Amino acid sequence: MAKEAIKKIKLAIQAGKATPAPPVGTVLGPAGINLQEFCTKYNDATRDKMGDILPVEISIYDDRSFDFVIKTPPTSFLLKKYAKINKGSVKGANEVVATLSKDQIKEIAEIKLPDLNAYDVEQAMKIVEGTAKNMGIVVEGNDSETE
């Protein structure tokens, strides 16, 4: 019989750098799981993505065992990384802070595709472009630049 999760916790942790200290410890400690074991497994699983912030969904079972699913990095994080900026526009689409090419948007869309509500890369690109626009990042070759 499959174990039933008694609790699901979602966190965003930097890849390869989980420690039992806050914020991980303060969230997972009350759940009663072995913090060091979680940190070790998470760090081993994310070692190849060092520096990225990865959302993780942790399922905790009644016998205090756990498993976790690592998601793709947030779209905003990937956009900032590709645009080489620290933060998006304060004024949203009214202030341009960076420009990305269609190819870069396609790369981000391909990374995000498993976690997006889209069937193909073209649909995923539209979602990523919307996020970019709200962050003040212009996509080269878009007609919306002149609006």
Query: Could you give the CA distance from residue 25 to residue 146 in angstroms, rounded to a whole number?
Result: 48
Checking if the pLDDT of 115 tops 60, the result is yes
CB 138 within 8 A of CB 145: yes
The confidence band for 88, taking pLDDT boundaries of 50, 70 and 90, is: confident
Paired tokens of 93: 């689409």
Query: Could you give the CA distance from residue 57 to residue 125 in angstroms, rounded to a whole number?
Result: 25
As for how many domains the chain has, the answer is 2
Q: Are residues 114 and 79 in the same domain?
A: yes
The answer to the question of residue 147 being in a domain is no
The answer to the question of residue 146 being in a domain is no
- Domain span at residue 19 reads 5-70
Paired tokens of 113: 């595709």
pLDDT (0 to 100) of residue 142 = 64
CATH number for the domain harbouring residue 120 = 1.10.10.250
* 128: number of Cβ within 10 Å: 30
Q: What is the separation, in whole angstroms, between the first and last Cα of the chain?
A: 58
pLDDT digits (tens, 9 = 90+) for 32-54: 888 888 888 888 888 888 878 88
CATH number for the domain harbouring residue 38 = 3.30.1550.10
Beta bridge partners of 12: 55
Whole-model pTM: value is: 0.73
